[in-house]
Copies of this chain bind each other. A is one copy, B any other.
Protein backbone atom coordinates (compact mmCIF):
# COMPACT_ATOMS: atom_id res chain seq x y z
CA UNK A 1 0.00 0.00 0.00
CA UNK A 2 1.32 3.38 -0.95
CA UNK A 3 1.61 6.29 1.40
CA UNK A 4 -0.50 9.19 0.05
CA UNK A 5 1.44 12.30 -0.93
CA UNK A 6 2.28 14.41 2.08
CA UNK A 7 0.05 17.29 3.08
CA UNK A 8 2.75 19.21 4.90
CA UNK A 9 5.95 20.63 3.52
CA UNK A 10 9.37 19.19 4.12
CA UNK A 11 11.06 21.76 6.36
CA UNK A 12 14.39 22.33 8.03
CA UNK A 13 17.94 21.16 7.53
CA UNK A 14 18.36 17.63 6.16
CA UNK A 15 21.94 16.52 6.60
CA UNK A 16 23.74 14.83 3.72
CA UNK A 17 26.23 12.58 5.47
CA UNK A 18 29.69 11.32 4.71
CA UNK A 19 29.81 7.51 4.98
CA UNK A 20 32.57 6.35 7.35
CA UNK A 21 34.62 3.51 5.92
CA UNK A 22 36.82 0.90 7.54
CA UNK A 23 40.49 0.48 6.73
CA UNK A 24 39.40 -2.17 4.23
CA UNK A 25 37.15 0.34 2.49
CA UNK A 26 33.89 -1.17 3.70
CA UNK A 27 31.01 0.70 5.29
CA UNK A 28 31.87 1.27 8.95
CA UNK A 29 28.49 0.46 10.42
CA UNK A 30 29.33 1.21 14.03
CA UNK A 31 30.73 4.63 13.19
CA UNK A 32 27.82 5.38 10.87
CA UNK A 33 25.40 4.61 13.71
CA UNK A 34 27.37 6.78 16.12
CA UNK A 35 27.43 9.59 13.55
CA UNK A 36 23.67 9.29 13.03
CA UNK A 37 23.05 9.69 16.74
CA UNK A 38 25.47 12.58 16.98
CA UNK A 39 23.70 14.48 14.19
CA UNK A 40 20.25 13.93 15.67
CA UNK A 41 21.43 14.97 19.12
CA UNK A 42 22.82 18.20 17.68
CA UNK A 43 19.50 19.19 16.20
CA UNK A 44 19.41 18.39 12.50
CA UNK A 45 15.82 18.21 11.32
CA UNK A 46 16.36 15.24 9.05
CA UNK A 47 18.91 12.92 7.47
CA UNK A 48 19.83 12.70 3.82
CA UNK A 49 21.87 9.58 3.00
CA UNK A 50 23.07 8.90 -0.56
CA UNK A 51 23.48 12.55 -1.43
CA UNK A 52 26.45 13.98 -3.31
CA UNK A 53 28.28 14.40 0.00
CA UNK A 54 27.52 10.74 0.61
CA UNK A 55 29.30 9.84 -2.61
CA UNK A 56 26.36 7.76 -3.79
CA UNK A 57 28.00 7.09 -7.16
CA UNK A 58 30.98 5.39 -5.51
CA UNK A 59 28.93 2.70 -3.81
CA UNK A 60 27.26 -0.32 -5.33
CA UNK A 61 23.46 -0.57 -5.49
CA UNK A 62 23.52 -2.96 -2.54
CA UNK A 63 25.70 -0.66 -0.49
CA UNK A 64 23.42 2.31 -1.15
CA UNK A 65 20.49 0.34 0.23
CA UNK A 66 22.49 -0.78 3.21
CA UNK A 67 23.52 2.76 4.13
CA UNK A 68 19.91 3.88 4.30
CA UNK A 69 18.86 0.75 6.16
CA UNK A 70 21.49 1.30 8.84
CA UNK A 71 20.62 4.95 9.30
CA UNK A 72 16.86 4.37 9.30
CA UNK A 73 17.30 1.68 11.92
CA UNK A 74 19.49 3.90 14.06
CA UNK A 75 17.32 6.98 13.70
CA UNK A 76 14.31 4.90 14.69
CA UNK A 77 11.88 7.59 13.67
CA UNK A 78 13.45 10.41 15.67
CA UNK A 79 13.89 12.50 12.51
CA UNK A 80 12.58 12.01 8.97
CA UNK A 81 14.86 10.58 6.29
CA UNK A 82 15.22 11.76 2.74
CA UNK A 83 16.91 8.92 0.86
CA UNK A 84 18.90 9.40 -2.32
CA UNK A 85 17.44 6.76 -4.63
CA UNK A 86 18.86 7.29 -8.11
CA UNK A 87 20.01 4.08 -9.77
CA UNK A 88 21.15 3.14 -13.28
CA UNK A 89 17.75 3.60 -14.92
CA UNK A 90 14.13 4.29 -14.08
CA UNK A 91 13.28 0.65 -13.43
CA UNK A 92 16.12 0.22 -10.96
CA UNK A 93 15.31 3.57 -9.40
CA UNK A 94 11.68 2.64 -8.89
CA UNK A 95 12.77 -0.58 -7.21
CA UNK A 96 14.97 1.44 -4.90
CA UNK A 97 12.03 3.72 -4.14
CA UNK A 98 10.02 0.66 -3.14
CA UNK A 99 12.80 -0.56 -0.91
CA UNK A 100 13.19 2.80 0.83
CA UNK A 101 9.45 3.06 1.18
CA UNK A 102 9.44 -0.24 3.02
CA UNK A 103 12.13 1.11 5.33
CA UNK A 104 9.79 3.94 6.28
CA UNK A 105 11.77 6.89 4.98
CA UNK A 106 9.88 10.17 4.57
CA UNK A 107 10.71 10.67 0.89
CA UNK A 108 13.30 9.91 -1.75
CA UNK A 109 15.52 12.40 -3.56
CA UNK A 110 16.29 11.69 -7.21
CA UNK A 111 19.13 13.50 -8.87
CA UNK A 112 18.56 14.57 -12.45
CA UNK A 113 20.13 12.23 -15.03
CA UNK A 114 23.87 12.67 -15.18
CA UNK A 115 26.77 11.77 -17.46
CA UNK A 116 24.56 12.31 -20.50
CA UNK A 117 23.27 15.88 -20.60
CA UNK A 118 19.56 15.58 -21.27
CA UNK A 119 17.22 18.14 -22.79
CA UNK A 120 14.44 19.55 -20.61
CA UNK A 121 12.03 17.13 -22.30
CA UNK A 122 14.27 14.21 -21.41
CA UNK A 123 14.58 15.37 -17.81
CA UNK A 124 10.80 15.68 -17.64
CA UNK A 125 10.20 12.19 -19.06
CA UNK A 126 12.65 10.67 -16.61
CA UNK A 127 11.08 12.17 -13.50
CA UNK A 128 7.56 11.64 -14.77
CA UNK A 129 8.08 7.90 -15.15
CA UNK A 130 9.56 7.65 -11.68
CA UNK A 131 6.91 9.85 -10.07
CA UNK A 132 4.08 7.84 -11.56
CA UNK A 133 5.52 4.59 -10.25
CA UNK A 134 7.05 5.54 -6.91
CA UNK A 135 5.18 4.44 -3.79
CA UNK A 136 6.57 7.37 -1.81
CA UNK A 137 7.09 11.08 -2.18
CA UNK A 138 9.78 12.26 -4.55
CA UNK A 139 12.12 15.23 -4.19
CA UNK A 140 13.68 16.47 -7.41
CA UNK A 141 17.39 17.10 -7.06
CA UNK A 142 18.87 19.83 -9.24
CA UNK A 143 22.66 20.13 -9.22
CA UNK A 144 23.57 21.63 -12.59
CA UNK A 145 27.33 21.54 -11.96
CA UNK A 146 27.17 17.74 -11.92
CA UNK A 147 23.93 16.67 -13.67
CA UNK A 148 21.42 17.69 -16.35
CA UNK A 149 19.79 20.93 -15.20
CA UNK A 150 16.12 20.92 -14.22
CA UNK A 151 14.74 24.16 -15.59
CA UNK A 152 11.83 26.17 -14.20
CA UNK A 153 9.19 25.04 -16.74
CA UNK A 154 10.13 21.41 -16.04
CA UNK A 155 9.72 21.87 -12.30
CA UNK A 156 6.40 23.59 -12.90
CA UNK A 157 5.21 20.85 -15.24
CA UNK A 158 6.18 18.05 -12.86
CA UNK A 159 4.61 19.85 -9.90
CA UNK A 160 1.44 20.29 -11.93
CA UNK A 161 1.19 16.71 -13.17
CA UNK A 162 2.64 14.67 -10.32
CA UNK A 163 1.21 14.89 -6.78
CA UNK A 164 3.97 12.50 -5.76
CA UNK A 165 6.61 15.13 -6.52
CA UNK A 166 6.57 17.18 -3.33
CA UNK A 167 9.82 19.12 -3.27
CA UNK A 168 12.90 20.25 -5.08
CA UNK A 169 16.37 20.36 -3.69
CA UNK A 170 18.40 22.89 -5.63
CA UNK A 171 22.17 23.01 -5.26
CA UNK A 172 22.86 25.72 -7.79
CA UNK A 173 23.05 28.49 -5.23
CA UNK A 174 21.34 30.65 -7.82
CA UNK A 175 18.97 32.98 -5.99
CA UNK A 176 16.98 34.24 -8.99
CA UNK A 177 16.49 30.65 -10.13
CA UNK A 178 15.08 29.73 -6.73
CA UNK A 179 12.73 32.73 -6.79
CA UNK A 180 11.51 31.75 -10.26
CA UNK A 181 10.78 28.21 -9.11
CA UNK A 182 8.89 29.37 -6.04
CA UNK A 183 6.86 31.79 -8.11
CA UNK A 184 6.07 29.16 -10.74
CA UNK A 185 4.93 26.47 -8.30
CA UNK A 186 3.81 27.81 -4.94
CA UNK A 187 0.48 29.16 -6.14
CA UNK A 188 -0.71 25.80 -7.37
CA UNK A 189 1.10 23.61 -4.87
CA UNK A 190 1.28 25.44 -1.53
CA UNK A 191 2.79 22.40 0.19
CA UNK A 192 5.57 21.92 -2.34
CA UNK A 193 8.86 22.37 -0.57
CA UNK A 194 11.95 24.23 -1.72
CA UNK A 195 15.26 23.19 -0.24
CA UNK A 196 18.62 24.74 -1.00
CA UNK A 197 21.76 22.66 -1.15
CA UNK A 198 24.04 25.67 -1.26
CA UNK A 199 25.18 26.55 2.25
CA UNK A 200 26.74 29.80 1.08
CA UNK A 201 23.30 31.33 0.54
CA UNK A 202 21.27 29.60 3.22
CA UNK A 203 20.05 32.66 5.13
CA UNK A 204 18.91 34.69 2.10
CA UNK A 205 17.28 31.58 0.61
CA UNK A 206 15.29 31.03 3.81
CA UNK A 207 14.39 34.72 3.96
CA UNK A 208 12.99 34.62 0.45
CA UNK A 209 10.80 31.59 0.98
CA UNK A 210 12.85 28.40 1.02
CA UNK A 211 11.72 25.79 3.51
CA UNK A 212 15.11 24.51 4.44
CA UNK A 213 18.20 22.94 3.05
CA UNK A 214 20.27 19.86 2.52
CA UNK A 215 23.59 21.27 3.54
CA UNK A 216 26.88 19.50 3.76
CA UNK A 217 28.16 21.84 6.46
CA UNK A 218 25.39 20.54 8.72
CA UNK A 219 27.18 17.20 8.72
CA UNK A 220 30.25 18.89 10.20
CA UNK A 221 28.82 21.68 12.35
CA UNK A 222 25.16 20.73 12.89
CA UNK A 223 25.03 23.10 15.86
CA UNK A 224 25.83 26.05 13.60
CA UNK A 225 23.39 25.29 10.81
CA UNK A 226 20.65 24.67 13.35
CA UNK A 227 21.36 27.99 15.03
CA UNK A 228 21.43 29.74 11.66
CA UNK A 229 18.07 28.21 10.78
CA UNK A 230 16.46 29.08 14.12
CA UNK A 231 17.74 32.65 14.09
CA UNK A 232 16.50 33.20 10.55
CA UNK A 233 13.07 31.74 11.17
CA UNK A 234 12.74 33.80 14.33
CA UNK A 235 13.53 36.96 12.39
CA UNK A 236 16.81 37.77 14.15
CA UNK A 237 18.30 38.98 10.94
CA UNK A 238 21.47 40.61 12.25
CA UNK A 239 22.56 37.52 14.17
CA UNK A 240 21.56 35.19 11.36
CA UNK A 241 23.60 37.20 8.92
CA UNK A 242 26.63 37.05 11.19
CA UNK A 243 26.35 33.26 11.43
CA UNK A 244 25.95 33.05 7.65
CA UNK A 245 29.21 34.90 7.13
CA UNK A 246 31.05 32.56 9.51
CA UNK A 247 29.53 29.50 7.88
CA UNK A 248 30.59 30.80 4.50
CA UNK A 249 34.23 30.76 5.60
CA UNK A 250 33.99 27.16 6.66
CA UNK A 251 32.01 26.10 3.60
CA UNK A 252 34.46 27.71 1.19
CA UNK A 253 37.45 26.17 2.91
CA UNK A 254 35.93 22.67 2.79
CA UNK A 255 34.60 23.04 -0.75
CA UNK A 256 37.34 24.75 -2.71
CA UNK A 257 40.56 23.39 -1.18
CA UNK A 258 40.13 19.77 -2.22
CA UNK A 259 38.14 17.59 -4.59
CA UNK A 260 34.63 17.32 -3.17
CA UNK A 261 33.87 15.94 -0.57
CA UNK A 262 37.40 15.46 0.79
CA UNK A 263 37.34 18.77 2.66
CA UNK A 264 34.16 17.73 4.45
CA UNK A 265 35.67 14.35 5.29
CA UNK A 266 38.75 16.03 6.74
CA UNK A 267 36.60 18.31 8.88
CA UNK A 268 34.46 15.44 10.13
CA UNK A 269 37.62 13.65 11.21
CA UNK A 270 38.47 16.72 13.26
CA UNK A 271 35.07 16.43 14.93
CA UNK A 272 36.09 13.00 16.18
CA UNK A 273 34.80 10.52 13.66
CA UNK A 274 36.81 7.72 12.08
CA UNK A 275 35.78 8.51 8.54
CA UNK A 276 38.51 6.41 6.95
CA UNK A 277 39.87 7.22 3.51
CA UNK A 278 37.40 7.81 0.69
CA UNK A 279 36.99 5.50 -2.26
CA UNK A 280 38.41 7.95 -4.75
CA UNK A 281 42.18 7.51 -4.44
CA UNK A 282 44.26 10.59 -3.68
CA UNK A 283 47.60 11.48 -5.16
CA UNK A 284 50.50 12.41 -2.91
CA UNK A 285 49.99 16.05 -3.75
CA UNK A 286 46.36 15.82 -2.78
CA UNK A 287 47.28 14.25 0.54
CA UNK A 288 49.66 17.10 1.27
CA UNK A 289 46.98 19.61 0.32
CA UNK A 290 44.53 17.98 2.70
CA UNK A 291 47.05 18.13 5.52
CA UNK A 292 47.39 21.84 4.95
CA UNK A 293 43.62 22.21 4.73
CA UNK A 294 43.10 20.29 7.96
CA UNK A 295 45.09 22.85 9.86
CA UNK A 296 42.99 25.67 8.42
CA UNK A 297 39.81 23.78 9.23
CA UNK A 298 40.98 23.13 12.76
CA UNK A 299 41.42 26.85 13.28
CA UNK A 300 37.99 27.56 11.88
CA UNK A 301 36.41 24.89 14.07
CA UNK A 302 38.38 26.14 17.09
CA UNK A 303 36.95 29.57 16.40
CA UNK A 304 33.49 28.06 16.80
CA UNK A 305 34.58 26.35 20.00
CA UNK A 306 34.30 22.81 18.70
CA UNK A 307 37.94 21.76 18.82
CA UNK A 308 41.26 22.95 20.22
CA UNK A 309 43.60 25.01 18.13
CA UNK A 310 46.28 23.01 16.33
CA UNK A 311 49.73 22.76 17.84
CA UNK A 312 51.51 26.01 17.05
CA UNK A 313 48.30 28.00 17.22
CA UNK A 314 46.19 29.84 14.69
CA UNK A 315 46.59 33.26 13.08
CA UNK A 316 45.26 36.10 15.22
CA UNK A 317 41.74 37.27 14.56
CA UNK A 318 39.09 35.35 12.75
CA UNK A 319 40.61 32.68 10.57
CA UNK A 320 39.62 33.12 6.96
CA UNK A 321 40.91 31.96 3.65
CA UNK A 322 42.06 35.52 3.07
CA UNK A 323 44.20 35.52 6.19
CA UNK A 324 47.06 34.31 4.05
CA UNK A 325 49.64 37.00 3.51
CA UNK A 326 49.43 36.68 -0.24
CA UNK A 327 52.14 39.23 -0.82
CA UNK A 328 54.56 37.18 1.22
CA UNK A 329 53.51 33.98 -0.54
CA UNK A 330 54.00 35.72 -3.87
CA UNK A 331 57.45 36.88 -2.88
CA UNK A 332 58.49 33.38 -1.89
CA UNK A 333 57.04 31.87 -5.04
CA UNK A 334 58.83 34.50 -7.11
CA UNK A 335 62.07 33.56 -5.41
CA UNK A 336 61.44 29.93 -6.16
CA UNK A 337 60.65 30.64 -9.76
CA UNK A 338 63.75 32.79 -10.13
CA UNK A 339 65.83 30.00 -8.63
CA UNK A 340 64.27 27.44 -10.95
CA UNK A 341 64.99 29.75 -13.85
CA UNK A 342 68.58 30.15 -12.79
CA UNK A 343 68.96 26.41 -12.74
CA UNK A 344 67.40 26.23 -16.20
CA UNK A 345 64.44 24.23 -14.98
CA UNK A 346 61.69 26.43 -16.34
Contacts and interface: CB of A to CB of B under 8 A. Distances in A.
A2 interface: no
Size range of the chain A interface in the assembly: 35 or more
B179 A198 contact: no
Interface stretch (A38-46, A99-107, A325-333): A325-333
A179 B115 contact: no
A260 B203 CA distance: 31
A176 B200 contact: yes
A259 B116 contact: yes
Contact of A285 (B113, B121, B248): B121
A338 B312 CA distance: 13
B207 A334 contact: no
Contacts of A200: 175-176, 179
A190 interface: no
Contact of A340 (B91, B118, B184, B332): B332
B281 A128 contact: yes
Interface stretch (A4-12, A75-83, A145-153): A145-153
A125 B283 CA distance: 5
Interface of A: 25, 52, 57-61, 88-92, 113-119, 121-122, 124-126, 128-129, 145-147, 152-153, 156, 173-176, 179-180, 182-184, 198, 200-201, 203-205, 207-209, 237, 241, 244-245, 248-249, 252, 259-260, 279-283, 285-286, 288, 292, 295-296, 312-315, 320, 322, 324-326, 328-330, 332-334, 336-338, 340-342, 344-346
Please provide the 10 A-B residue pairs with the shortest distance between their CB atoms, ordered closest to farther. A176-B200, A204-B204, A125-B283, A125-B281, A89-B279, A121-B283, A175-B201, A129-B281, A122-B259, A58-B89
